[in-house]
Amino acid sequence: MAGFADRLHQAISSIGTPALVGLDPRFDQLPAEIVKRAEANSSDPLDIQAAAFEEFCKRIIDVVAPLVPAVKPQSAFFEQIGPAGVLALQRVNQHARRAGLIVICDAKRGDIGSTAEAYAEAYLAGEDPNAAPFAADALTVNPYLGRDTLMPFIQKSKERGAGIYVLVRTSNPEAGSFQDHQQDQQRLYEKVAATIEEQAAEDAAANSSEYGCVGAVVGATYPQELTELRQKMPHVPLLIPGYGAQGGGAGDVAAAFTASGFGALINSSRGINFAYLREPYKTQFPQSQWEQAIEQATLDMIEDIASQTPAGALRS
Ligand SMILES: O=c1ccn([C@@H]2O[C@H](COP(=O)(O)O)[C@@H](O)[C@H]2O)c(=O)[nH]1
């Protein structure tokens, strides 16, 4: 069985970019044609939203599957609708897997060990999409409950060729309010980073890989910390949100990559999903061509990252 790090490496290498498209559907911003179709098929507001989210995300997947290695569905947008939304998330994940994409489910799970086992069972399908209901290759995980609570996710990842991305330095403005708490000259986020580097290095050695199945979420909005963390976590694949809508640029994420262009995925959600509502795409494409706007925004992101970071080396 191939480990998560090797599967990710293969996906990035064959498509030639580390750009990651987030799937964050927002009902009030969906193309009118999708909402109309969902309304024609149901009168239940929650069913309408779920059907619209499912169609929207599946169509984004069809557009971006030939361009990027992975997608990151944001569970919260689906969960807010209730059971119909959760079912839509499952179908979206399955659709992405069938399209050949790596699926990183952004659900930020974390609980005491025995409960974490149940979360791991639910999400971490790994190599075989049928191995877990949510069919994800990887899951975002909250480490706040402690080291032992990461272990069930890591164990399941090893068994199934799956991966986790642990929150280390998040992209939000007040990320430091807890993460910067310092004890014995080590900040909380540095402590988390040291723990997951240890786990990732062990897995990388076991698989003779450069990286392990334990990744880290580090925001593009903190380039200084990103640079330090990349050096302190050489075996940890990074998932970097905060590019685009949150103000992070390609220059901010350059330090995340090795000279050959590996080591990180750069996520954009709103900037891609709703490209047709913002310039320059709004002027270039009428709303009926929202998929072309998404395609162009994805191509522009790929070019931006390639021209300003070592990830450009993936093209050669
Ligand atoms: O530190 C974090 C962790 C997760 N996220 C999630 O990533 C996307 C970002 O969306 P954009 O529209 O590109 O800003 C979203 O799902 C967040 O929940 C993050 O932003 N920062």
**Domains located in the chain, CATH noted:** 4-307 (3.20.20.70)
Instruction: For residue 246, give the ligand 1 atom closest to its CA.
Output: 14
Q: What positions carry a catalytic annotation? A: 108
Q: Which residue's alpha carbon is at the smallest distance from atom 11 of ligand 1?
A: 269
Question: Is the CB of residue 154 less than 8 Å from the CB of residue 199?
Answer: yes
- pLDDT score of 22: 98
Cα(242) to centroid(ligand 1), Å: 6
Which atom belonging to ligand 1 lies closest to the Cα atom of 169? Answer: 1
Ligand 1 site residues (CB inside 6 A) read 22, 24, 74, 106, 170-171, 217, 219, 241-242, 244-246, 267-271
Q: pLDDT band for position 60 (50/70/90)?
A: very high
pLDDT band at 245 (very low <50, low <70, confident <90, very high): very high
Instruction: Say what the pLDDT of residue 81 is.
Output: 98
Pairing of the two strands 264-268 and 238-240:
parallel
Work out the pLDDT band at 45, boundaries 50, 70, 90: very high
Residue for token pair 């999400």 = 123
Residue to mutate (ligand 1; options 104, 165, 171; most atoms within 8 A of CB): 171
- Dmax over CA atoms of the chain, in Å, equals 61
The shares of helix, strand and coil residues in the chain, as percent rounded to the nearest 5, are 55, 15, 30
Whole-model pTM: value is 0.98
Contacts with 117 (C-beta within 8 Å, 6 or more apart), sequence order = 152, 156
How many other C-beta atoms are found inside a 10 Å radius of the C-beta of residue 209? 19
CA 49 to chain centre: 23
In the beta sheet, which residues pair with residue 313?
none
| pLDDT beyond 90 at 316 | no
